[in-house]
Each structure stands twice: as structure tokens, then as C-alpha cells.
Structure 1
Amino acid sequence: MCFQKKSPTSTNTTATNAATTTEANVEENTYSFEEILTNLADTDGAKYIKVTVAVGYSSKNSKLKEELEDTKEDIKTPIMRDIIVNVLRSKKAADFTPTGIDQMKKEIKEGINPHLKNGQIDNVYFSNLVIQQ
């Protein structure tokens, strides 16, 4: 079981929410994808993004954990990965601002959640994000 706390590089919205909440910290499981390398939508030259993406969900939801980590059928990973790649490929390098990244995370979450049967993801995390221009 993998537990991951919110990274200090989280967006201001997440940091503000964490700072103002008085509830007890909810443990969160994460499911990480292999590194993603894809082109961006810029038309003024080839630009690429390389990023590692993880999704976060409540550690209390063991059924969602099983669904995400099911290696026997492994039907969710390609679907979720396709959603992530499509969101990233629709963006330009200039879209990678704090506000733009928040919007991308929201789009990824809204794209993935309808495909899940046993719960919803709550957060999307980017790490090792590199844009090559």
C-alpha cells in the first residue's frame, strides 16, 4: 500500500485548502502511471512534455484500489493513460502556468472519474514535469 502526502509543490489552491481545513488529515492512496512523453499543441515548432502522473483517492476505498491496481484484467490503465495524454496534447507550452496546471488536473480528473466503477479519484499529481521547446 502506498501512501503519499501532498507534495510541497502542489498548487496554491491545494496548499490554501490544506492550510484552512480543520478536519483531520485523510490518508490518501495514489496510483502512479509510467512516465508520459507526448507532443504539445504548439504550432510554432515541436514541443514535448515529459511528466509522471499519479492520481490520489481515499485510502478507505479498498474497492477502488483493487480496480485501479487490477493487473489481471488491466483495462483501466490504458483508458486513464489515454485521457491524460489527450489532455496534455491539447495544451500549449504557455498553458503550463499554475492556473493552467490546475485546469489540466481538473480535466484529467473529470475525464477519468466516469470510467471508474468503485469510487472517484480526488486529486491528480504531476511530478518530474519537463517541457522541451
Structure 2
Amino acid sequence: MENKAEKKGSSKIKIIAIGILILAVVAGGAFFGYNNFIKDKKNTAKNAVQQVNTQQVNTQQVVNNGQTAGTVANSLDQVVSSQTFQLDEVTVNLADEGGNRYLKVAVYLGFNDKKLTAELTAKKPIVTDAVIEILRTKKAADISAKNMNNIKLEIIQKINPMLEKGQLNNVYFTDIIIQ
């Protein structure tokens, strides 16, 4: 009789041990799945914004080396700003030989944070100067449809370090005249 009771107690312990083992395996699998699959999907939007900002920084290095920014510059086509800030119309001499050519543009800065409007208003002369500084280095051949995104990225990268209440995410040109 004692032998049967021992076997019942022993089998209960085995069942409990197997149950704990199964529970540990399921918990480990759930942890692994969360870290590798679900967690990544939750951060997709945040990572996309960080990726654009990282690409902009990397593009600055590429542009400074005289190479084309390519696909990073094309990412600006996909960014639509919820707010814009109009700069005064800008007229600059281009860097062509002889200095006979000039560029006239109307520039809007794109961003998403409403707080940035007041800061841009206060820093309008500084921001306009930064845009002029960039555009003065361009030749007439640089002002083409395929190079405009690179110019936009240069402007964003020049102005963003000056801003404290937000960041630009796009630049819009509404008028471009080359004479």
C-alpha cells in the first residue's frame, strides 16, 4: 500500500516538474518573440524619423565630399510638413565664372512642431543668411531638378543646429528664377 502511495506522490512531482519546464520554455519563447518581432514594430514610426535624421547627417558628409546624396535626398519627396514658415524672397549671385548669373527663389521651411514658428520668426535674419550662404556657392548647373533635394538637405543641415524648439524636416521652393 505504501508503494502505491509513493508512486502517486512521485508521479505528481513529475507532472509538476514537467509543467514548470513547459512554463519556462513558453515564457522564454514569449520573451524572445517580443524582443525580436513585436518590439520592433512598435518603434517603427520613431525609427523612421530617426532614420531620416541620420540619413540627413550622413548626406551632409556625402555632399561635403562632393558626391551625390542619391536615395537619401529622394527621401525628402516623401516628407510632408504640417507647418511651413516663409522666408523673404532671396536673390543671390551664383558661383559661375564672371559672376553674371543670379538666382531668385522663394523659400518655405517645413516642420511639424508649432512651437518652432516663434523661434523661426525671431531667428529669421539668421536663417535667411544661412540659406543665402548655401545658395551663393551654387552654379547655374547645380540648380536642376535632380540636385534640388541635395540643396534642400544642405539647407536643413545648416539650419537645424541653430534651432532649439524643433527641427526642420523639409524645404520648399515655390519660385526659382535663374538669370
User: TM-score of the superposition, structure 2-length normalised?
Assistant: 0.55
Residue in 2 aligned with 1:94? 141
Change (3 A) 1:96 1:36: same
Task: Mark the runs of 5 or more structure 1 residues left unpaired by the alignment.
Answer: 1-10, 19-25
Matches within 5 A, 1:1-133: 14-15=76-77, 17=78, 28-58=82-112, 61-69=113-121, 74=122, 76-132=123-179
Larger helix proportion, structure 1 or 2?
A: 2
Structure 1: distance between partners of 2:119 and 2:75:
29
Q: Which moved more, 1:27-36 or 1:86-95?
A: 27-36
**Which amino acid counterpart does residue 125 of structure 1 have in structure 2?**
Y
Is the Cα–Cα contact under 8 Å of residues 94 and 136 in structure 2 kept in the other structure?
yes
Structure 2: distance between partners of 1:33 and 1:27:
16
Structure 1: distance between partners of 2:124 and 2:137:
20
- For residue 98 of structure 1, report the CA deviation from its aligned partner: 2.1
Query: Identity over the aligned pairs, expressed in percent?
Result: 41
Is the Cα–Cα contact under 8 Å of residues 76 and 170 in structure 2 kept in the other structure?
no
**Which amino acid counterpart does residue 49 of structure 1 have in structure 2?**
L
**Which amino acid counterpart does residue 55 of structure 1 have in structure 2?**
L
Count of residues in Structure 1 that have an aligned counterpart in Structure 2? 107
Larger Rg: 2
Change (3 A) 1:65 1:96: same
**Secondary structure of residue in 2 paired with 1:122:** strand
- For residue 78 of structure 1, report the CA deviation from its aligned partner: 1.1
- RMSD across aligned positions (CA): 2.0
Runs of 4+ in 1 over 6 A off after TM superposition: none
Larger strand proportion, structure 1 or 2?
A: 1
- For residue 101 of structure 1, report the CA deviation from its aligned partner: 1.1
Task: Mark the runs of 5 or more structure 2 residues left unpaired by the alignment.
Answer: 1-72
**Secondary structure of residue in 2 paired with 1:62:** coil
Change (3 A) 1:63 1:47: same
Structure 1: distance between partners of 2:152 and 2:161:
15
**Larger relative contact order (C-alpha < 8 A, sep ≥ 6)?**
1
- For residue 14 of structure 1, report the CA deviation from its aligned partner: 4.5
User: TM-score of the superposition, structure 1-length normalised?
Assistant: 0.72
